Structure 1
Amino acid sequence: MNATPDLPPTYYLSNFTFLVDWVAVRYEDLLTQEERDFADTFQHLPLHSQCLFVRLSSRKGPFFRADKINYPEINSLEDAAKYLIECGFIDIQVLLSFHEVAHLLTKAELVEAFSVNSKSERKSNLIDQLAHLYPSTKEWQQWTNKQLGLVYCLKTQHIIDNFLLLFFGNSHQDLTEFVLQDIGLFRYENYTIDEQHRIFKTREELELYKHLIILREQLELASTHENLVEIARQIPDSIQAHTLRRRRSKLCNQLAYKFERQHQVDLALSLYRQSELPPARERQIRLLEKQEKYLEAWDMLESLLTAPVDEQELQIAERISLRLAKKLGKSYSKKTPSSVTERSLTLVNPYNISGTQQLNVEEIVRLHFHSTEAPCIYVENQLLTGLFGLWLWPEMFRSLDGAFANPFQSAPLDMYEASFSLKRPRITELFCLFEDGYHKQHIRDMWRMKQGLANHFVNWHFFNEEILNLALEVIPAQHLALIFKRILFDVRNNRSGLPDLIQFFPDKNDYLMLEVKGPGDRIQDNQRRWLDFFSANKIPAEVVYVSWQ
């Protein structure tokens, strides 16, 4: 990778300006007058005021001590702040609570300002001791007797949060995405984002999204039954937008599980019934079983077995079926597991050589099998999912309604949804490539043309031309097609759990995948599902159980 480039001193301002302009154009009809005025006012601020504003917006606020602000590109802090105060972006005449003041002070300043004798105490303890003595709010200058300069209060955080949410379409990305692109760590595919494809169609959708975020944050802090009931009361009854329905379902699941732990079964069931996402049906079945409502539980279980959302849900349902059938006196044939090939391997204990284990067990096994004629490579979830990402590329980055919210996505927003393939019928054409071997050239073309572009499934550091060619020449087209279909059925769960190693036998035009298990290690559920699949489809894979001499 090339050396990290030097960024211009005001790179962050260019990025923020791009974000504001981008949102102002694409979401102009959704913005409030306050937000439109903000965008217009920001564009007409002096350069140094813009710089100060973005610097403050990127830090944890809303209060900032002027004597702690020092940026070389801002020549006069006082002058830059003056314009921000005039337009109402920041304020210097605000009331602060004791806690807000205390967190702006160092421990030494806190001790001096409030004449504290316990200098050996931790700052947090001092704050707890003093808080009840100062219940009122005052301006910063009153708290500090004008000894420590000004404090700026950022007044536009709610507007900035809205612009970030409209730009990214989620609450976890931020302006650091720009920086990662600026310094060359990530480059992104050039897909279309216009008014037709934007995530939020109405202002109501934006406000609902924000409301669900607030409820999720409240849930993380909730400690009492009353807190949980109040959160449940605030969940919107129904939501039309698909993306928001998924977020609502996830919140219902999380809240229902909290009620479960409090043994509030009826409340938990009520919330699970409102959810479209796993594990809502599984949890309902378990709760109905606890209530000895076996017939109702069985009906739901049959529905789940007929149309599972994903393979994990199906696997869990099959486990429940045996127990529930027995309680109802029903006959239920346990699914016969596929015969997975296993082998035992005894190797020299690495601790006996140097006293310290320098290599993990997977690497030790890889070296044991590796040879020039039959290279063995540590791949885990990188090779097959990487080939999948290259093969799927044209459809993965096709511009569709709700797929892309911003220029910094390594996958569409609906990548993990059941409707992903239904919305992209041309995936059928990609599967047709396996019928005549054209998949090899297609994947090679994607590897060459898209080199370095961010793809959720492709680790460019792993994929060199040698590994790519080995895999395409040795792994049969039929095997790849079957594996890719399985990944597509349940991308979230099936993109992991793949074997640790793959050994190629070019002379025999053959290969073998190896799942390595050291002493005391066991096969995980997602790994078992893949191994069963390989066995059922005669795809070469084995489990290697390692013991030490």
Structure 2
Amino acid sequence: MAFQSPMDTRPGTADLENPLYYLENMETVVGWVLNHHADLLTTEEQDRLRAFQALSLPARALLTRMVMRTGELFRADKLRYPELGVPESEALEELVADYWLDAEPLLTLDQLFRLYTLGELRPVFAAALQEAGWQKTLPKWQMLEVLQQSFPDALSLADWLGMDVQPVVCINPMALFDRVRLMFFGNLRQSWSDFVLVELGHQRYEPVTFTPDSRAFQHRSEVDIYLTMHQCREWLDEGVPAREVWPEVPAPSDNAWLASRRDRLLLELGRQAERQGERELALQAFGTSGHREARLKQLRLLERMKRHREAWAIASRWQTQDLSDAEAQGLARILKRLAAKLGEGPPPALTPPPIREFTLTLPKPALGSVEFAAQQHLWRDDSPVFYVENTLINGLFGLLCWQTIFEPVPGAFFHPFHVGPADLTREDFVARRQASFDRCFACLQDNSYRERILDNYRAKQGTTNPFVIWPVLTEELLSLALDCIPPADLERLFRRLLLNIREHRSGFPDLIRFHPGNTGPDRQYEMIEVKGPGDRLQDHQIRWLEFFAGAGIPASVCYVRWQETGVPE
């Protein structure tokens, strides 16, 4: 069967007190992929994974340990896992007999030097070094460098070191395990240790319904495309020239999730092409990439190449689109420079609204932060002050939009242990859930938002959410926030957050002061950014503060100065 019912029992996680916990978690991964992605595996791959499940417990555990480690080559005499319950040699013998391991791999000189110590290698190559006119006491790196031309071919371990050494074994199906890892995690950036060596049971995860339609990969060819893109990125990281990697980049895919990963690959290829002097290739890569950083890089490169008219045309078209603050700021600077060079009318200068400021002079506390000192000074029984920084507004958003955040759209969830959707910071995160977000914002407009937030707060208590930090979001704080922050302000804040989640979910002020008894025209709350002596506002904090000022949201900057003695001013 290609895919099991979404009503299947959710897989459990192992207890770290079990010495074989890592095997339990690996078996969870293999079982999950067989249940939910079998149609993306060949018959041979499915059979191989079932053969893994049929191995003896010691053999399964030893192979899991080896798969989790770096590389594919291992010295048999260095494998020490007493929890197997049998000698490692016994488990190795089973794995070799069942073709999981190759006991006679050919080794390059470089691989040999990675596996063996300097003390073990010196006697082997002493004669070769002497014959080449080198001292046998060379450090390891220099010995390798000297010998590489003399030993260009891969040889068996016996040919290198003789017949009396313990074998080196090589994992045969590493590509299969990489494919399994990709389909489970949805990426190859995460290692096995991100799942297998972590005790997952101490967290609660939001149940997400898994169906064939919600998977990131619908066809095996899409998995292959991902693997090809991963290889391209590895080549770039290894220093392969961008012009050689460019022809290997897969064509655009209809799969939106794959398209976003291709956009990131092209952004990096463009960066490296520019550094390598391949400016035309860099322009092509930036222009093809849909990544939000690519457009500014393309325009700046066109400027450096003095192709000002071309840059002006692109920048003028881009100016009409929805932009994050950082994009708008960068684009405005480019347009201003281009206008001066081309004799065009400069874009209208946007005068940022003034940011409210005040200063406190306080005794320097023996312990605690400047934020805590300001909070204690500002606190009044009728105007409580809380340290919230990035937690409160994000938390309110996460509670209001909980069901939307965990909507099982394709490419969002790969397994039951996600803290949040995998596409959270992708540029199409909102667009793929637009109707659902619209329903959330409708709650702010018909005043049903309070009930929705409180219902989720009670029902989801302790469940992981990328926007909700449970220890900070107390009932007292939540109640005051819902009493004092108007829904219109929440909507403005949430809409800006969604313009660029990666950028905008940080930079919120440190403190929030509530005025629950205020019945006048002034707002019932104020956000306060605290800056100690010598500290200054960062760009993303300034952008939030300017947004607050322009939107009429009460916020200010508190500059704290220390006094040696006396009463605070």
Q: Which residue of 2 aligns with 1:202?
A: 219
What TM-score, normalized by structure 1, do the two folds share? 0.90
Q: Which residue of 1 aligns with 2:411?
A: 402
Q: Which residue of 2 aligns with 1:441?
A: 451
Q: C-alpha distance in 1, partners of 2:189/2:141?
A: 29
* SS, match of residue 69 in structure 2: coil
Q: Which residue of 2 aligns with 1:336?
A: 351
User: Equivalent residues in 2 for 1:367-406 (5 A)?
Assistant: 367-406=376-415
Q: C-alpha distance in 1, partners of 2:424/2:56?
A: 42
Change in CA separation of 1:336 and 1:204 when aligned onto 2, cut-off 3 Å: same
Change in CA separation of 1:103 and 1:372 when aligned onto 2, cut-off 3 Å: farther
Does 2:286 match 1:272?
A: yes
Q: C-alpha distance in 2, partners of 1:113/1:372?
A: 79
Of 463-472 and 288-297, deviating more is 288-297
Q: Which residue of 2 aligns with 1:170?
A: 187
Q: How many residues are treated as equivalent by the alignment?
A: 537
Q: Which residue of 1 aligns with 2:97?
A: 86
- Which of 326, 340, 344 pairs up with 1:312? 326
Offset from partner CA, 1:172-203 (integer Å, 9 cap, x none): 23444445774534331110122221111122
User: Equivalent residues in 2 for 1:151-162 (5 A)?
Assistant: 151-162=168-179
Change in CA separation of 1:233 and 1:519 when aligned onto 2, cut-off 3 Å: farther
Q: C-alpha distance in 2, partners of 1:192/1:153?
A: 38
Asked if the contact 1:141/1:149 (under 8 Å) is kept, the reply is: no
Change in CA separation of 1:84 and 1:441 when aligned onto 2, cut-off 3 Å: same
Q: Which residue of 1 aligns with 2:166?
A: 149
Displacement after TM superposition at 1:371 (Å): 4.4
Displacement after TM superposition at 1:210 (Å): 0.9
Change in CA separation of 1:21 and 1:490 when aligned onto 2, cut-off 3 Å: same
Does 2:24 match 1:10?
A: no
Of 380-389 and 301-310, deviating more is 301-310
* SS, match of residue 452 in structure 1: coil
* SS, match of residue 199 in structure 1: coil
Letter in 2 for 1:332: P
Asked if the contact 2:203/2:463 (under 8 Å) is kept, the reply is: yes
Displacement after TM superposition at 1:252 (Å): 1.5
Give the superposed CA RMSD: 2.7
User: Equivalent residues in 2 for 1:400-479 (5 A)?
Assistant: 400-424=409-433, 425-479=435-489
Offset from partner CA, 1:486-537 (integer Å, 9 cap, x none): 1122222211111122223334372221122334433333222211211112
Change in CA separation of 1:447 and 1:179 when aligned onto 2, cut-off 3 Å: farther
- Which of 205, 220, 227 pairs up with 1:188? 205
Q: Which residue of 1 aligns with 2:375?
A: 366
Asked if the contact 1:15/1:175 (under 8 Å) is kept, the reply is: no
Identity, in percent, stands at: 36
Q: C-alpha distance in 2, partners of 1:426/1:177?
A: 31
Long gaps (5+) in structure 2: 1-13, 564-569
Does 2:35 match 1:25?
A: yes
Q: C-alpha distance in 2, partners of 1:146/1:449?
A: 65
* SS, match of residue 473 in structure 1: helix
Does 2:245 match 1:231?
A: yes
Asked if the contact 2:303/2:311 (under 8 Å) is kept, the reply is: yes
Q: Which residue of 2 aligns with 1:498?
A: 508
**Structure 1 stretches (4+) deviating beyond 6 angstroms?**
116-121
Letter in 2 for 1:86: A
Letter in 2 for 1:144: L
Displacement after TM superposition at 1:360 (Å): 4.0
Q: Which residue of 1 aligns with 2:109?
A: 98
Does 2:157 match 1:140?
A: yes
* SS, match of residue 306 in structure 1: coil
What TM-score, normalized by structure 2, do the two folds share? 0.87
